[in-house]
Amino acid sequence: MADDGGLKPKPAETDPLSDDIKPIKNATALVSEAKRGKRVDKPKKAHLLQWMEITVTEPEKKTIASMKMQDTFVVYLIETRVTDENMQGYGEGATSVWRRYTEFELLRNYLDVTFPSVIVPPLPEKKASYAWQNVSMDRFDPDFIERRRAGLEIFLLRCAAHPRLCQDKIFMGFLHQEQGWRDTVNATDFYSKAESRLKALNAQFRLKNHDRRFEELKNYCTELQSNIGNILKIRARLCDKLYGIHKVHGNYARVFNEWSAIEKEIAEHLQSASHYMDVYSATIDAELEEEEQYADQLKEYYAFGDSVRAVCRRYECAQYDLEKAEEGLVNKSCQREALKLAIAESPVSEENNGQGKGGFSLSGVKTKLFGGDTPEQREIRLKQLDEQIVQAEAELKNVQVESQEFIEFALRDIDRFQRQKTKDLQEIFTNYAVMQIKQCKKGIAIWTSAKDCFSKM
């Protein structure tokens, strides 16, 4: 198992997963639900959010002159506060640090490598995607920054809610360490533990025994992303059309005004009505901005697809390692058997038939090149092989244990993810419906007022 860098996770006697599945809506909801979890009397806290509050706020533009260029970027304020008096030993009461997006990326990369069997939560997107006409592509646009801020907060909350991720020292350092956190991270040299792309590719195509569950999971991710992609694409088009409808109604405002100029008795009512048409036209901006939330939430799950697929890839690598170790052991065993056989067949004469079974054997070649082995040399060789085999067996056991653990943890995390996903998405759809209801109520109010004006005409 990879180094967790901190407290080792307790094996699952007390299942740490049972009460941490809550739909992630926002910080306050999560914290309050975490607090509710305290009703179950557990001696151990399963995850950070049960006793700590984390917020990401106050995005600020910062410019520093570094080297030759000016670098402008946004920093976010990360604040934590211990909410459970019993946990005073951990954490430092209230803390605050400033972080920028690239530091979040560094944290995520570290967690990704360090916890290969964990589905690490994704970060909010680097650039606006599936944008409709009013969405700015400028990364300093205040709306974009606000959405990013919300996404970063959710990222931290999800990590904190994960029983294994939250115990990591680097993660805690991210929350608390004001100076030199980057150096601390780089000092762990985590990059070297990352699986190489080549190995992953090899693994994908050369596995002999593939656990169907991971294969199916990969397919599921592809479908999930395809489905979410479709929804986001059409949603963007819907926004454009809805925007158009409202803005064209703004023209009614203008014509009502012009009309009121040629009327006497009804002039003031026409002007009031005109005002409401303007309001109707203007409300769409705020409504659609709020709806971006829905898109962001779906995008998070789109990105989760990548995280899940990463776990599957790591499974394949682990399986690859396992199979290689098995193969290695089998090879060595074969070699030993061959050598034994060779010794048994020709104990004295090395020049005649120094070969074992089969035309081309290594010992045969060696005999040709270096002269035959003396029986003593063969014995030495045999002993060597025996030792190697013992080693290989031990290694194989290790790899098997590691692989088992990996699969066990991965499957458990996957199950956790699926359950979280169901709850989250139900909540996400509910939120969307809530937004629609708000829009409908607003529409009713505006048109009722307009109707009032018309009735007085």
Q: Which residues bind another protein (CB under 8 A)?
A: 21, 220, 223-224, 227-228, 230-231, 234-235, 237-238, 241-242, 244-245, 248-249, 251-252, 255, 258-259, 262, 265-266, 273, 418-419, 421-423, 425-426, 429-430, 432-434, 436-437, 440-441, 443-444, 447-448, 450-451, 454-455, 457
* Angle formed by the axes of helices 101-114 and 142-161, nearest 10°: 30
Q: How far is the CB of 237 from another protein (least distance, A)?
A: 5
Q: Which residue lies nearer to another protein by CB, 224 or 343? A: 224
Of the pair 223, 386, the CB lying nearest another protein is at 223
Task: Find the shortest distance in angstroms from Cβ 450 to another protein.
Answer: 5
Q: How far is the CB of 107 from another protein (least distance, A)?
A: 29
CA angle 265, 269, 274 (to 5 degrees): 135
Pull the structure tokens for residue 446: 């505006």
CB of 33 to another protein, least distance (A): 12
Q: Phi/psi at 159 (nearest 5 deg)?
A: -65, -45
Residue 334: both structure tokens together: 């074969």
Nearer to another protein, 258 or 345 (CB): 258
62/451 with CB nearer another protein: 451
Written as one string, the DSSP assignment of 373-391 is PPHHHHHHHHHHHHHHHHH
Smallest distance from the beta carbon of 277 to another protein, in angstroms? 10
Tokens of residue 175, six digits:
């929350």
Instruction: Give one word for 217, left, alpha or beta, with left for phi > 0 and alpha for psi -120 to 50.
Output: alpha
Between 132 and 406, name the residue whose CB sits nearer to another protein: 132
Single-letter amino acid, residue 43: P
Tokens of 413: 């995390």
Shortest approach of another protein to residue 35 CB, angstroms? 17
- Comparing CB distances to another protein, the nearer of 186 and 422 is 422
Angstrom distance (rounded) from CA 405 to CA 361: 39
- Largest distance between two CA atoms of the chain: 128
